[in-house]
Amino acid sequence: MEERKAMPSADGLGLDEQVRRILRERAESLAQADWVEEVAETRRLLLFRLGEETYAVGVEDVREIVSGFAVTRIPCVPSHVLGVINVRGEIVSVIDLAAVLNAQQGAARAPGGDDGSGIIVRSDDVTGMLVVDEIGDIIEVPAASVEPPLSSLDRAHAETVSGTVYWEGRLIAVVNLARILQPVGERA
């Protein structure tokens, strides 16, 4: 008790004033917290190019970006799996995103080819590398502006896209990693 009494006098402030100050600070910090929360409602997206189209993937799902990799072909896998790569001892599937998205950019990649760049992504417990033509910028958009995929898309395509967002006048599809990274050969 004695110590508490001693403190205000040391500060030269009365107890009332101190309480008021604390309350004011609290109010301010609360207001600020609110404000921060509002701003946090954005999504960061990594853009990439696939043929003529620009697509995006949520930054939170991206583990790393790789260029110049040696793909080992694995026999008897679906055609959109180009093979596997060795990332510091971890074996990661290489997925031909163009083949999955059926992007109208002509032929799918040659199996075992190592052109393009790779985005290592993670969804649930599955890690895979998406092969794309070019890595773009990271953009920040309001979360609310990411809308459900266009209803005009056919169903197969719609499943591979989790949402769309307008950015700089372009419509960008955010790929659905849960669908694209669906494990191969898992027993139902």
Site string for other proteins, 4-43 (x = CB under 8 A): ----------------------------------------
CB neighbours (10 Å) of residue 125?
Answer: 7
- Could you tell me the smallest distance in angstroms from the CB atom of residue 126 to other proteins? 5
Q: Is 99 helix (H, G, I), strand (E, B) or coil?
A: helix
Instruction: Establish if 73 lies at the interface with other proteins (CB under 8 A).
Output: yes
What are the residues whose beta carbons fall under 8 Å from the beta carbon of 132, sequence distance 6 or more?
48, 49, 50, 55, 97, 116, 117, 118, 119
Instruction: Establish if 169 lies at the interface with other proteins (CB under 8 A).
Output: no
What residues between 110 and 139 interact with other proteins by CB under 8 A? 125-128
- Pick the binder of other proteins from 47, 50, 57, 85 (CB under 8 A): 85
- Pick the binder of other proteins from 82, 92, 97, 98 (CB under 8 A): 92
Rg (CA), the chain: 25
Give the total of residues touching other proteins (CB under 8 A): 29
The amino acid sitting at 156 is A
Residue 153: closest CA among 105, 103, 110:
103
Contact residues: other proteins, CB under 8 A: 70, 72-77, 81, 84-86, 88-93, 95, 125-128, 181, 183-188
